[in-house]
Structures are given as C-alpha cells and as structure tokens.
Amino acid sequence: MVSCAATKIPRATDQQKVDLLKKVECFIFDCDGVIWLGDKVIEGVPETLDMLRSMGKKVFFVTNNSTKSRAGYMSKFQSLGLDVKAEEIYSSSYAAAAYLESINFNKKVYVIGETGILEELDLKGIRHIGGPGDADKRVTLKSGEFMEHDHDVGAVVVGFDRYINYYKIQYATLCIRENPGCLFIATNRDAVTHLTDAQEWAGNGSMVGAIVGSTKREPTVVGKPSDFMLKNISATLGLRPDQICMVGDRLDTDIMFGKNGGLATSLVLSGVTTEEVLNSPDNKVIPDYVLSKLPDLLSVKQAAMVAA
C-alpha cells in the first residue's frame, strides 16, 4: 500500500518478524546499507543469512551499484566473509547487459561507467566503447573544434562513473541525439550512494541527469525500482510475488521496487533512509515492516524455527 506517513511508523514486533519469516520463501536484499556499509559488513549479517538459509529460504542480492560485475561482487562478498553464489547476485551492470540481450541488440554500446558494465557486456558478446578508456580524454573547446562519434553506436548506457568528464557527456549526447534510434539506458537514478562508510556520495542520478539535460530524453532504467530484475528472479524460482520480500534501505528505490512488484517489503534503517524521513508527512512510500537493521531478525530465531 502506498500512502502518506501521517503518524509514526513503528518498528516490527517480534510476532511480526515471526510472521514474515513464516510466509516468505525468498528474500531479496539490497547490498549497500543493508548487508554492508562501504567496505565493512554490518555486524550480525552473516549469522542472519545463515539462519535464513537453514530455514530453507532463498536469498538474492540486488544492487544498483554498477561499478562491479557479478564476478566483482563475488570477490567483495568473499572478502567480507559472506558465502554467496554468483547466480544469487543481480547487479545493475548485469541488468543493463541482460536487457540489451533480451531485445536482441546488435550494435555498439557507448558506456559512461566503470568496469562492471564492460565485463557484463563482454559476457553477453555485446560490443562496446567508452568506459574507463575515456577517463583521461579532454575537450579543449578551441575555435572550430568538432567531435567525431561512432555512428554504429545504438545504445548509451550510463552507470556510476567516478571519472565522468565533459568528453564523455558530449560523446553520449552526440550518440543519443544524432544516431537514429539510439537507446538511452540508465543502470539507476539513485541520488546518493554509500561508497564508503564515512558519508554519502553523489549517486548515478547525477550522471544520468547530465545526459537528460543535454539530450532532453528520459532513459530506460534497468535497476531498481524498475521491475526488470524482479521478473527474472520470479521466473527463475517460480514463486508468486507475495512469497518474496524485498529488504532495502531506500524508500524510493528498494521499497518502491517491492511495492511495484507486489512483494512484501521491509525497510532497514541502517543505510540511507532515516526514521525522520520515513515518518515525514512528505513520504508516500510505506513499507510493510521496519527494522533498525537486518540482524533484528535474529531475536526471533528460535520462535521462527518452530513456526516454520
């Protein structure tokens, strides 16, 4: 249900936690702010995942961070002591490549983004240019300067890019505006992201916004809250939406992603969304459950095991 937060939304009670664990067969987790903050795993998360697996629950990890491929995320999970399979990871870099494959795309892609997108495009056999290779390219804007661009580019994919520059913005703009039928794809439009555990950093929404501004085009978004990844997971498992719970720290992406797909939703307050934002009169996205952090579920471990 989507409504306005008129009164304070309480944390989930122990009985509500037990009911959630009893009815849900699959948990989809955001990563940043839920599983880890920056390069530190949130205390109690490994034990929580072990508990869910011991109860026979399926777990998936869905992240809007496109800087890594699924293989790259596997390395991060392992470095944090988390036992996760590659097929349990859905990154927005993978979603971008999977989306292009689903529409039988056969042209080149210009990438604003990092290695994660390039690695996933390579795995799908999709040709690409740009990415980190354009990090040091500069525009001087001297008199008469004219930028050439590849007319075989049929899609521009914009993901988080720590090395975005004016050259990349202009190149992407030329492809979208001048190449007939060129697609504009965004891995996500997150306003901020947790790239370190010290503070929030400007997210991919800032990169996408630059291209929206120069092209006057809106992108196709393949990450949350788009339902592209959700449909893939549901089809793979053969589960109904009401058997799946989305757990995230963002109202506008994670919880909306779950609401749009008809899932149960659980907001954790260990990441981007604060209790003040959750209970603001301006908030129109209300989660089904609220936890201070994912390991809150451990408090009902014994009761949940009996109920299961």
Cβ contacts of 8 within 8 Å, gap of 6 or more? 279
286, two tokens: 């209300």
30 is known as an active-site residue: yes
Q: What is the distance between the alpha carbons of residues 308 and 98, in angstroms, rounded to a whole number?
A: 35
Angle at 104 between CA 102 and CA 110, to 5 degrees: 95
Integer Cα distance of 180 and 86 in angstroms = 36
Whole-number Å distance between alpha carbons of 18 and 186: 37
Rounded CA separation 213/176 (Å):
12
Indicate which residue of 32, 252, 254, 288 is catalytic: 32
* Residue 260 host element (H or E): helix 256-261
Token duo for residue 101: 């494959």
Please indicate if the annotation marks 122 as binding a ligand: no
How many other C-beta atoms can be found within 10 angstroms of the C-beta atom of residue 222? 26
* CA distance readout (Å), 239 to 24, 92, 298: 10, 22, 25
The token pair at 239 is 């589960």
- The verdict on whether residue 242 carries a ligand-binding annotation is no
Q: Map tokens 């992108």 to a residue.
A: 219
Q: Catalytic one among 19, 30, 134, 161? A: 30
Distance in angstroms (rounded) separating the CA atoms of residues 174 and 155: 11
Task: Report whether 249 belongs to an annotated binding site.
Answer: yes
Token representation of residue 219 = 């992108």
Tokens of 133: 């290779």
CA distance 122 to 138: 26
242 included as an active-site residue: no
Residues serving a catalytic function are 30, 32
Annotated binding residues for Mg(2+): 30, 32, 249
Annotated binding residues: 30, 32, 224, 249
Annotated binding residues for substrate: 224
